[in-house]
Amino acid sequence: MRLLILTWEYPPIVEGGLARHVRKLAEALDRRGVEVHVLTRGDSALPETAVQNGVTVHRVPEPGKPGDLDRFVAWIEHMNDDMIAAGRELQHEAPFDIVHGHDWLVARAGRALAADTGAPWIVTVHATEHGRHQGWVESYPQSHIHGVEKWMVHEATRVIACSHYMQEHCSDIFDMPPTSIDVIPNGIDPADLAPVDDLDTYRAQFAAPDEQLVILAGRLVYEKGFQLALEAMPRIIEDLGNVRFVVAGSGTHENELKDQAKALGLEDHGTFLGWVDDLQLHSLYAVADLCVIPSIYEPFGLVALEAMASGCVCIVADTGGLREIVPESAGLRFTARDPIALGLAMERALTDDALRATLKDEAREHVRRFDWDEIADHTQALYTGLLGSSLPQLDEV
């Protein structure tokens, strides 16, 4: 089986969890004998073609990603043009049996390349513009992105969602039967979560030995809900006294969160690290007493899986995919959008040593369900089933 995966990010270019997901899936499929080619973007520092852990990675050189959303949409269109041209060159060598695209960012290229040879076109929906903006998709550019997503899922041969929540969400907002959407979750490999060697020294950068450390990790955007955690922190500090926090990540909401922390008098109680690499992130999981994931919208919740696998107790909003990946036996939940409920859950976790020990044990056992080999088996079975069926061909574009 010759497989083409399209993604706008692939390590070492990492914007978020999508890059890690695609890399682990591609490498697991390669181990199963699939000939995996990844078509993604690159820059002048990266080779146009390279083999990474068995996967052949092809990169189209693109200029720096613009910060303005209007310009970003135009930039994505240009990237898709480049991917179509590069993919057609690859098709001249040998046609691909399956084309698998990840999110709207590569939809046009994926459909065009699949239509060239009549290959099945699978798309994985990791998140939606409707969800990110709580339904406000009437105005450009949100309306454009939402339209591309709707076109994509209706044109695709098959759709994959990362959780049952996302299956229902896509069915609802895109008006499609849930039976046309397969649920295949993201995965976790605890071996990838290695921290720094000297954890005591690393932790000392953020908290004293007698202080408890809370981490907030992820993209700093409104839907991740970090503003709720900051709102809860003054009461936690007043009641417990010995609590500090670290915010690890960057994004469009970063300056607002820093202003909020200053207004709440939290400047001397925490640190904003900005974007951190994997080594720092994994080290934070290892030294923290608590990881808070207060998302308003969360299709899956990879940070929660990583934290649980690292032995860090999690508190998550009772919403979206978080309900599926963090059972009440393995973590604490609070009512989404409620900073008071979040504060109470944080105090409970930080003051109950026995509870934290129980949650850690249950979480480490629970995350074994999200094994990349099993996820690759399900994905390969989907591919094989599509190749064995009689499918209508996509019209060429």
DSSP string, 31-60: HTT-EEEEEEEE-TTS-SEEEETTEEEEEE
Per-residue model confidence as pLDDT tens digits over 87-108: 999 999 999 999 999 999 999 9
* Strands lying side by side in the sheet with 270-274: 270-274, 243-248, 212-217, 290-293, 314-317, 332-334
**Average pLDDT, integer, range 339-368:** 95
Report the CATH number of the 2-187+371-387 domain.
Answer: 3.40.50.2000
| Contact in structure between 90 and 365 (CB atoms under 8 Å) | no
Kindly report which listed range (23-27, 35-39, 132-136, 245-249) carries the lowest average pLDDT score: 132-136
Residue position matching structure tokens 């994004």: 251
Sketch the domain layout of the chain as residue ranges: 2-187+371-387, 190-368
| Contact in structure between 25 and 379 (CB atoms under 8 Å) | yes
**Could you tell me which of 281, 334, 332 has the C-alpha nearest to residue 310?**
281
DSSP string, 272-295: EEES--HHHHHHHHHH-SEEEE--
pLDDT at 389: 72
Q: Is the dihedral of CA 55, 60, 62, 65 positive or negative?
A: negative
* Strands lying side by side in the sheet with 158-161: 49-52, 55-61, 35-42, 2-6, 98-102, 121-125, 158-161, 181-183
> Do 2-187+371-387 and 190-368 show the same overall fold?
yes
| Contact in structure between 149 and 176 (CB atoms under 8 Å) | no
Q: Which superfamily does CATH assign the domain made up of 190-368 to?
A: Glycogen Phosphorylase B; (3.40.50.2000)
CA 149 to chain centre: 17
Judge if pTM exceeds 0.85.
yes
pLDDT at 392: 55
Per-residue model confidence as pLDDT tens digits over 304-350: 999 999 999 999 999 989 998 999 999 999 999 999 999 999 999 99
**Average pLDDT, integer, range 138-166:** 96
pLDDT at 390: 56
pLDDT at 134: 87
Kindly report which listed range (35-44, 113-122, 134-143, 201-210) carries the lowest average pLDDT score: 134-143
Residues whose CB falls within 8 Å of the CB of residue 392, separated by 6 or more in sequence, listed in order: none
